[in-house]
A = this chain, B = another copy of it.
Amino acid sequence: MDKINLAEKLKLFEEYWNPKIIGECNDAHLKLAKLKGIFDWHHHENEDELFFVIKGHLTIHFRDRSLQLDPGELVVIPKGTEHCPEAPQEVHVLLIEPKGTLNTGNVVTDKTRPSLERI
């Protein structure tokens, strides 16, 4: 067990839309991701997903509305809820979701990352 400094971990990678596992807590993985551009519409059948914005401004589109999250803000997307994250400029997020959660949920696209690196 050691402490995790989010800023230092974020220096260790550059790729967008490729979350890195930085730890675990009970049945969940803690992940960091850098986002830029628009992702793919998807939902997670059995997993709630937490997004916490560290840097930048993240828009999450839902079928009936959109939310904008600024640094220091978080949202929990309930299981089954279709969503599509969009980052017009670079965004850094902490994600917390059950181990095994696939980044593109119920769909497979060119952004699907079935195996995530630990940093």
Contact = CB atoms under 8 A, between A and B. Distances in A.
A77 interface: yes
Total identical chains: 2
Contacts of A91: none
Q: What does DSSP make chain A's interface, helix, strand, loop or mixed?
A: strand
Interface in A75-90: 75-78, 81
Interface stretch (A11-19, A20-28, A35-43, A109-117): A20-28
A75 B4 contact: yes
Contacts of A97: 26
Contacts of A27: 26-27
Interface in A53-98: 54, 67, 69-70, 72-78, 81, 96-98
Given A5-B70, A30-B50, A30-B76, 5 more contacts: A4-B73, A6-B73, A6-B74, A26-B27, A28-B28
Interface of A: 1-7, 23-28, 30, 47-50, 54, 67, 69-70, 72-78, 81, 96-98
